[in-house]
Amino acid sequence: MKGSSVLLRSICRNIAAGKLSCSTQPCNLDHKPSRLNQQGQSSSRCQRALAWRLGLLIVALGSLGIAGCGTFVGTPNNAAAAGLLIALPNNVDFGSVPVGQTATATVSLINKSADPIEISQLTFTGQSFSILAPGSLPITIAAGSTLKMTVQFGPTTSGAAQGDLNITSNLSPSPAAVVSLKGKGTANGGGSAGGSPTLSINATAISFGDVTLGTTSTQTVTLTSTGTTSLTINSATITGAGFSVSGATFPVSLKSGQSLSLNVQFDPTVAGTASGQLTISSNSSTSATDVVSLSGNGVASSSGTSYQVNLSWNAPVNSTDPVAGYNIYRAPSGTSTYQLVNSAQVALTQYSDQSVQSGASYDYIVRSVDASGVESTASNMANVAVP
């Protein structure tokens, strides 16, 4: 790969309350396979341009009107769409529940409109489903707020059950939102004559609702031994960006009637909806594996000013494997927890990250992707501090 020289000039721009603060600084970069040289003094307001050995040059610089540089753009935080009511999750699977017992799930109603929404009626189709909270209607959800509901499944007979929760409000058309429900009633006390271990979980779905980027929301999942013999919980694993679990070291043995509490957290770093699963492995006679579905919505801080980081880079040079697109990854500065930022493969050599939080600092890397979906090694890291 032959070396090339690139001259960049960056201008940091911060738009807040209509005021601009700018500075300029030239950077001379020699792009070679084995080393990266930078001449001149670096500005604390500007970020460094970094080059990688495959020829991918990523630039994450605060700039104003310069092609190939990043921009911090301040815009009013008023993007809520009028007349929008979102149910998270909109599908709840209670899994297998012994007849005569109950399982619960949390469903969040998020008011995305600029006006209050009045919930006037909650109705179910299908048997064995009910609502525990809220207890009385009508109830009003303020603009931008979330109402958390507790939905219950209590089978009275064995077999599969399914239905819908219809949510009626002052929005049109009606129902304003629908949540699909399903579960399975199982015979209680099945197993050997000497008794059987049984696991009961207090929720089969957890919705965290809206959570501000950079903050953490925690909910508790309770595991209870309801069988006639001791229960062994082998593991609790979690999937999904932003979700984590703590509270126990496995395996854990629970005598009949004992409980174990797990802390499930949602810490979004990217704006938008997220989903995941908490999977519990045990020797329960009803099921060796139980799954709790997770959902949440990462939202930008409502400080009145929002920011975006514009990234640009040079395509790989002299590559024998044609590039089909790019993936952009971001992590809080100083960590290695990189998460994919783009929801679809990026075709251009530029990307605007609009999910950053004021006052945060991020590390970015880029990987090129070929037609088979195979990613290259990562580019050099570029750091960005958001005002």
Rounded Cα gap, residues 82 and 117, in angstroms:
10
Instruction: Kindly report, residue by residue over 89-126, the tens digit of the pLDDT.
Output: 888 888 888 887 888 888 888 888 888 888 988 889 88
Rounded Cα gap, residues 292 and 105, in angstroms:
9
Burial of 207 (0-12, 13-18, 19+ CB in 10 A): buried
Within the chain, which residues score under 50 in pLDDT? 1-83, 189-194
Fill in the DSSP letter of residue 315: P
Indicate the residue type of 119: I
Q: Which residues of 292-304 are buried (b: 16+ CB within 10 A; e: fewer)?
A: bbbbbbbbbbeee
Indicate the residue type of 330: R
Only one residue has tokens 């304003």, namely 176
CB atoms near residue 217 (< 10 Å): 16
CB half-sphere exposure, 204, CA atoms < 13 A: 22
Give the chain's domains with CATH numbers. 4-77+303-385 (2.60.40.10), 78-188 (2.60.40.10), 209-298 (2.60.40.10)
Q: What pLDDT does residue 84 have?
A: 73
Rounded Cα gap, residues 51 and 350, in angstroms:
15
* Tokens coding 109: 């109603």
Predicted TM-score (pTM) of the model is 0.42
Q: What pLDDT does residue 305 have?
A: 64
Q: What pLDDT does residue 238 have?
A: 95
Paired residues of 179 in beta bridges: 165
**Whole-number mean pLDDT of the chain?**
75
289-299 and 203-212 strand pairing: parallel
CB atoms near residue 158 (< 10 Å): 12
